Structure 1
Amino acid sequence: MKNRIIVIYLLLVLSCLCTGCVEINVSNPSDIVTEKDETNTETFVPEGINSENWFESIPAYRGTPYIEVNNDIPFFTAEDKKKNDAFEIYSDLDELGRCHVAYANICEEIMPVEDREASLNSVTPTGWHQNQYNGKWLYNRCHLIGYQLAGENANEKNLITGTRSFNVEGMLPFENTVADYIDDNPSNHVLYRVTPVYKEENDLVAYGVLMEAWSVEDNGYGCQFCVFVYNVQQGIEIDYATGENCEATEEISKVDSAQTKKGNTYILNTNSKKFHTQDCSSGKRIGDKNKDNYTGNRDDLISQGYTPAECCNP
């Protein structure tokens, strides 16, 4: 009797396989294609940003890679902050070939699943006059929306001429902040907008970018910033009208040297022994019990046992 039951069971399984009632579905993440917003046909102008309201208050570069704008509160409208759908919008190049606003709702759906491989050399952004100083190239092809956030690589609408410092010390820490937030909250979205700022109407190289972020589902609590990042390289003088560059004059070098000697002001977490930039939103949320301020040389602070906070990379 027992053997008969086993035979009947095997016949039922075989019948299911033959009639297709058992389905095996194996998905490869690299085969998943996400639809991107390709509807923009003209330069996208973000609401709520008026250069007269904020850019005139930006001080000249004095050694720090970025400065907080609008009390670190992005200029997104109330309607913007309700968006929880995935999208990417890249402004068309203007008549000079320059990039303008790049705007996206960052989420797992549009983030790349593979490491970047393709070269950026096929794109030559405006003002690209490359030179080496002390054995290092001055310029990078800088993504407005970083590859790790949206998977856009050699997109001419998303690449500007930027210095090595601008790219690595200025923009990258904020890109990492957004990426880390999505990694920790894979179902959430971060409104993210990067606006190149040209000091003069026909400048080919941006003086810097306004970077804004707002985590949608938690109303900005988990990820929020609004900063202006300077497109500069210490010791190098850049003609933003053309992109031409040279070693800074003695007078400019003295300003850079004085700032370096003076040091910067940092926010300390005396409990975790981490230090943050003065404008870091995470640093500002440290409780009074564990919070302290320090003005001085970064290396001296590290020698005292403190380490740079990864969220702002001071």
Structure 2
Amino acid sequence: MNRRFAGHIVAAFVTLLIALAAAFSLTACEAPGWPFAGNAAYQVNAPQWFDPASLPAYSGNPSVEVNGNIPAFTETERRRDAFEEYAELDKLGRCGVAFARIGSETMPTEPRGAIGNVRPSGWQLDKYPWVDQKYLYNRCHLIGWQLAGENDNERNLITGTRSMNTQGMLPYENEIAAYVNGTGNHVLYRVTPVFQGKNLVASGVLMEAESVEDRGAGVQFCVWCYNVEPGVRIDYATGKSEADGTIDEAAADDSDDAAETTATARPTAPAAQAANDIPEELRADETDATFVFNANSRKFHRPGCPSVEDMSARNRLYFGGTREQAIELGYDPCGYCKP
């Protein structure tokens, strides 16, 4: 009788372990892009008024309005003079809140610097043929470089998908930059990366902005940007990823090859070889490149150089290293932009 009772206990315990393992698997792997589903507790950095678990699951739109699109700034915060603050990294090396009063005085006055030496929490170098520029992850500035001129500030860089960086966050950053450049006014701007539990990759970022002098008449938004990539299942605990089967990888490869064949009048081997010669940690994309290489002429340029626009796409390579590293790789500085 006792042995039978003990057997029941063991069986129940094993069943419980299996259920827990399944729940963990669903949170980390089977709910791509939305680890908050069914688990509203323990959301690191999220302000008390904001519950990510109440937001709609990602359905293709890179961002969604929060709180009626009204930022949650206090009157004390609105009255603050010039400031720029980046939270210390936590024990897991994760970024916290980035908060600043953006104006012409915070914007960059020098060329963009290298950021390839920073490895944000959860950083991986995974590639997928259907992702723009191939690499799944970017080093995403919480406060964009064009607004604050921060380069390799590890407290301002998170592991973000290409889609979140360029489709989610960038349009809002551009809106702020255009307003400041056009009016000379200021914008109160706060970006909060939100992590679930001990995950190393943020599930998304909360972006709040309000123009100061006109009390939000020029710029005002409060949005959530999803840290997701179509066709990719992300394990937010580690940053590892895999194709989720919703995009035909072979077709994407064929489409990419066909596009390259159509666009090129000669073999692309030199450009491909040049890309392979760049160490992975120094590779970048157009949003965070310090220089742009021409694989054909072996010249390197500032990203804003007119020669970059004239450069064939097949020869254009984005580089995230320093001037000295570019020269060591065998590239010469452009004589026009003098990088």
Shorter-chain TM-score range: 0.5 to 0.7
- Structure 1: gaps (5+ residues): 1-44, 255-314
Spell out, residue by residue over 1:32-80, the C-alpha distance to the aligned partner (whole angstroms, 9 max, x if none).
Answer: xxxxxxxxxxxxx99x9315x4323211111000000000000111221
- 1:146 maps to 144
Aligned-partner SS, 2:75: coil
Equivalent residue letter for 1:106 = I
Per-residue deviation at 1:120? 1.1
- 2:106 maps to 110
Q: CA separation in 2, counterparts of 1:207 and 1:201?
A: 11
Matches within 5 A, 1:129-144: 129-134=124-129, 136-144=134-142
Q: CA RMSD in A?
A: 1.9
Match of 2:191 among 175, 191, 194: 194
Match of 2:169 among 155, 168, 171: 171
Q: CA separation in 2, counterparts of 1:68 and 1:240?
A: 23
TM-score normalized by structure 2?
A: 0.57
Per-residue deviation at 1:114? 2.9
Q: CA separation in 2, counterparts of 1:54 and 1:129?
A: 28
Spell out, residue by residue over 1:95-136, the C-alpha distance to the aligned partner (whole angstroms, 9 max, x if none).
Answer: 0000010000001111112331x2211100010111111171
Equivalent residue letter for 1:163 = T
**Greater helix share, 1 or 2?**
2
Percent identity at matched positions? 56
Q: CA separation in 1, counterparts of 2:116 and 2:75?
A: 39
Q: CA separation in 2, counterparts of 1:212 and 1:92?
A: 20
1:57 aligns with 2:46: no
1:76 aligns with 2:73: yes
TM-score normalized by structure 1?
A: 0.62
Q: CA separation in 1, counterparts of 2:91 and 2:137?
A: 23
Q: CA separation in 1, counterparts of 2:236 and 2:47?
A: 22
Match of 2:116 among 121, 133, 148: 121
Q: CA separation in 2, counterparts of 1:81 and 1:158?
A: 22
Larger radius of gyration: 1
Aligned-partner SS, 1:133: coil
- 2:155 maps to 157
